[in-house]
Amino acid sequence: MKNKGKNNQYESRSSLSCITPTVPPSYFRILFDSAPDPCLILDPSLHIVHANNAYLHATRSKLDKIIGLGIFEAFPDNPNDDHATGVANLKASLARVLDKQVTDAMCIQKYDIPKQNGEEGFEERYWSPINTPVLDAEDKILFIIHRVVDVTTYIHLMKNTEDKHQLSAGLPKQTEQMAAEIFTRCEEVSRVNNLLKQAKLELKKTRDDLELQVAERTASLLQTNRKLQNEIDERKRKEEEFRAQQIKVQTLANELSIAEERERARIAGELHDHVGHRLLLGKMKIDKLAQLSPSDINTNEVLEITDLIDQSIQDIRSLTFQLRPPILSTAGLEAAVRWLGKEMRENLELHVDFFDDKEPKPLKYEIRSALFQSIRELLQNVAKHAGTKTAKVSLKRESGFIIISVEDNGIGFDVEAARTQHTRTNCFGLFNIEQRINYMDGCFILDSEPGKGTSVTMMVPLETS
């Protein structure tokens, strides 16, 4: 029984020792107000929410006078001290707490307080402050605890005592506590400074990494922009080339239409003035002969009719040769140009010196025909406008091209002025031939000066097997 009682007694004590003591919520204010260290509670807007008794005693203030005020309204700088930095330093510390949400320990601050009991002015005070945030479950600041220790006495003793050993021996217990607090606070400041240095190093590394990433990204964007700009420029260039080709094709089509109309007019004129006239005269003579008896027919008149018909046939052949000379398809461009020179001498009194290097010059018939017509038009221009009766035509093969030169020693002209005139009047002539040669992937070179004759060189690629 005794053992049982002892066991019960032991179990009761063990049970009591496991009970966690609790403090009623209403006691927390009493505990805060009774704390020995001066503490002030601020909200995030830095307005005073509460202050414990130690703080009110240290600052000689009353709770009902300061509660609800901004801390710098309740405790401003000493207006008589031009070098006061208390407000500025405390603002900076509280700003760091709000920004970083961490405790900020300040060095000793000179922060004077207003005199009490109706006295005017401020009392000199030195404090060792520390500001601590109170966070909610989401790490948002609810309050800031502003804890201070009045170290004015210690600072005055340090200023007025030269022998530090004598100072240590003569310090009262309260001053020793202040020294210990200052030493602890200096250690805290040193720790926070080390953390700040580490944070600065990390911030610098992060900033350097970001600057490197920004530089790389900027370089990549610049390269992409250059590529896009080059693509845009290339597309614009191709669009401009395409529009220019369209204009050339349209211009060439218009000029070809005009050329065809002129050629039709020329053919109609040839048929009317020569062939038609001779055929009409022959018909009139035949009608006259039809009215005569066979015995009255004059042999000379029959011969005249025969001559008219022969001349008409010759004119038709000549016209046919000019339009599509059979020799061009059977004997080639060289033979056709040589025949053209004879025609120019007989019809236009233009003497043409012809040169051929005798090298093979394979060309499609369409290319031969276009080159033949170009040479014919150039020689006609010489006969009509150059003021000379001689011209030179040469055909050579060189580096896969046929090179054709047509030269005269006539009056010449201003090429640039002629180009301007061509643009304004849309005439068909030298520059139409240039477009025709360019269309065949060839090259057209025009060289002329007033009084120095004209030289035209046409280069067209030969047909490859």
How sure is the predictor about 2, in pLDDT bands with cuts at 50, 70 and 90?
Answer: very low
**pLDDT on residue 128:** 86
If one compares 452 and 166, the residue with the highest pLDDT of the two is 452
Largest CA distance in the chain: 191
Which residues are CB-neighbours of 122 under 8 A, at least 6 positions away? 78, 79, 80, 81, 112, 113, 114, 115
Above pLDDT 90, what percent of the chain? 33
User: Cα(89)–Cα(86) distance, rounded to whole angstroms?
Assistant: 5
CATH number of the domain that 60 lies in? 3.30.450.20
Cα–Cα distance list, 325 to 303, 318, 352, 381 (Å): 30, 9, 18, 20
DSSP code of 451? Answer: T
Average pLDDT, the chain: 81
Residue 240: inside a domain: no
Query: Phi and psi of 82, rounded to 5°?
Result: -70, -20
Q: Residue 418 sits in a domain of what CATH number?
A: 3.30.565.10
Compute the distance between CA of residue 125 and CA of residue 129 in angstroms, rounded to an integer: 12
CA distance 97 to 42: 12
Given 100, 116, 150, the domain boundary residue is 150
Q: Which of 87, 119, 150 is the last residue of a domain?
A: 150
Has residue 411 been placed in a domain? yes
- Position 102 in a domain: yes
Asked if residue 271 belongs to a domain, the reply is no
Q: Is residue 403 part of a domain?
A: yes
Residue 445, Ramachandran bin (φ over 0: left; ψ between -120 and 50: alpha; else beta): beta
Domain boundary among 125, 150, 175: 150
Give yes or no for residue 241 having a pLDDT over 80: yes
**DSSP per-residue codes, 95-129:** HHHHHH-S-EEPPPEE--EE-STT--SEE--EE--
**Domain count of the fold of the chain:** 2
| Within a domain: 289 | no
Dump pLDDT digits (tens) for 35-60: 998 999 999 999 999 999 999 998 88
Q: Are residues 55 and 40 in contact, defined by beta-carbon separation less than 8 angstroms?
A: yes
Range(s) of the domain holding residue 423: 331-465
With cut-offs at 50, 70 and 90, classify the pLDDT of residue 3: very low
pLDDT at residue 4 is higher than 90: no
Residue 280 resides in a domain: no
Indicate if the pLDDT at residue 258 is higher than 90.
no
Q: At what angle do helices 365-381 and 333-348 cross, to 10 degrees?
A: 30
Residue 408, domain member (yes or no): yes
**Tell me, what's the pLDDT at 201?**
85
